[in-house]
Every structure is written in structure tokens, then in C-alpha cells.
Amino acid sequence: MSIAERNQPLGGNAMPRFGGIATMMRLPKVETAAGLDAVFVGLPLDIGTSNRSGTRFGPREIRNESVLLRPYNMGTGAAPFDSLQVADIGDIATNPYNLLDSVARIEAGYRDLLQYDVIPLGLGGDHTVTLPILRAIAAKHGPVGLIHVDAHADINDEMFGEKIAHGTTFRRAQEEGLLAADRVVQIGLRGSGYAAEDFDWARRQGFRVVPAEACWNHSLQGLMQEVRQQMGGGPVYLSFDIDGIDPAFAPGTGTPEVAGLTSVQALEIVRGCQGLNLVGCDLVEVSPPYDTTGNTALLGANLLFEMLCVLPGVVIRR
């Protein structure tokens, strides 16, 4: 397929950026992933949250802010639309009255997508969504390495007696055999806890835990070099909770924690995934009601574009 035959974002000179249909990057909306290399998929959900709701509106606002994005990455030289066929498949219809049914719907939706040789990029939605995604991903690729950026480890055994919620995602994923534990890294963990041992369960599984304090005041390029070595050539999933970033940059989220990563460090992490065998990504926990400026969703849209730019097969032009 030639560049001319591949989908391209609608440019600001063809349609004003405040006009047109607000798909991700104003790409075509499709009904099936057939023929695609990568696909954006919305995951509107917030009934798994433990504090502030609103992430059900995350996918829509990320798409709204993505109208500012252009097809060429000036920082890295990545030209994803020159080499990949990309589209927006819309949202998976979650059930606003039933979390477990929503989880089942997301897994079924991803299994349907993954009938094709496509890499899904999810727009969240609270972090509960990553569990059903990983179930579908592992069914196709086997246990995957995980790069998890977050203020929280999300390894609770239960929340209010419930085994599935946005804070239990990666304990369930590990228990279900969805993760290759020796290839899991959690970056940006911080804040107060209920016990001094709150992050120790992850370490006992073999996860690498990188607290926010280890990231303060320096570039994360060296860390990502180590992460690439750890991940090797096996399949890798990238899950990026926007609250991994300091609320000075991303206030629109449900469980903000001070002293987090900067937006520059966030880009370093995603760009540091270049060369990995990424089989899926997500950007979750954007809650637009808590950020009237739109900056959190704007950052989320940019991070999703950066994820697209590091997928296997993307051409680099300098």
C-alpha cells in the first residue's frame, strides 16, 4: 500500500481544527479493524474508580484535543502514517450500571479486534479497562511484558470487598498468568500508603518498581535503556495512567498524587519504547471535569500519538 492509499489525519488547511468530526487525530472512523495496522479504540468507563469519577468522558475529550496533532513527529522523525494504516474504531459500548459486564464487553471487543493483525491503542477510561485488555492480548500473544506508568501500583487484593476495580488490575493480571513477571516494570509510584509494605507484593512477583523519587530531577533515557534490555524481544504492553504525571501537568484525573513525573519525562518513557515489540498500549484515567483547560486530555492525546510513533514498522524520516 502506498502512502497515498493510507489514511491521513485531516489537516487544518482542509478543515479548520474546530470543525469536522472529532475522531482521534480526525482519522477516518471505521467499523472493523480489517486491513489496519493500528487502531484507536475508546473505553469510556468510570464505575471502577475509587475517588473522583469522570473518566467516562476521557475518550471523547482526548479526541477533541487531538485535533491539534499533525502527522509528522518533529522530535523523533517518526512518520507513522507513511508506514501504517491507522483509523479510529470508536468506543466499546460499556455498561454504565455494571462493572463486571463492562469488563466482559471490553474483553470481547478486544478479542474481536485481535482477530486481525492490528495493534490497539486504548483511550480510557479508568484503569479497570486494562485487565480485560490484557486478557485478550494474552490470549493472542501469551504472557506479555508490561511497562506500567502510574502513581499507584494497582495491586490491591480487593477494594470494598470487590476483586475487580481500578486498583486491583495488575494483581488480577498476574494471578491470571497474563504477565511475564520478570519483564514487568512499574514507573512513577508514589504518595502515601496504608502500610510500609504496600509495593512489596509487586516486588515479590519479580516486578521492577521504580518510585517517583528515583525519577526526580533527571532524564529517564538511561532508565528506558535498562527497560528495553529487560523487555528483550518478547511482546510488550504499555499502560500509561495519566496520574503518573504530576498534577501540575495533568490535574484532570481521579486520584492525583503530588511530586510526579513531568510531561518531558512522560515523553522520554514513551519514546524509550522505540524498538520494542509493542502489541498494545493504553492511556487511561483522564477525567475532563477536573481540568477545564483541557490540558490533561491534550497531554493524553500527545502521549497516544507518541505511542503510535514507536510501534513496530514505523518509518523514521529526518
> What are the binding residues?
127, 150, 152, 154, 241, 243
> Which of 159, 90, 86 minimizes the C-alpha distance to 128?
159
Buried b (16+ CB within 10 A) or exposed e, 269-278: bbbbbbebbb
Cβ neighbours around 294 below 10 Å, total = 16
Does an H or E element contain 290, and which? none
Binding residues for Mn(2+): 127, 150, 152, 154, 241, 243
Q: Give SS3 for 281.
A: strand
Do the beta carbons of residue 40 and residue 304 sit within 8 Å?
yes
Rounded to an integer, what distance in angstroms lies between the CA atom of residue 102 and that of residue 95? 5
Burial class (CB in 10 A: 0-12, 13-18, 19+), 194: exposed
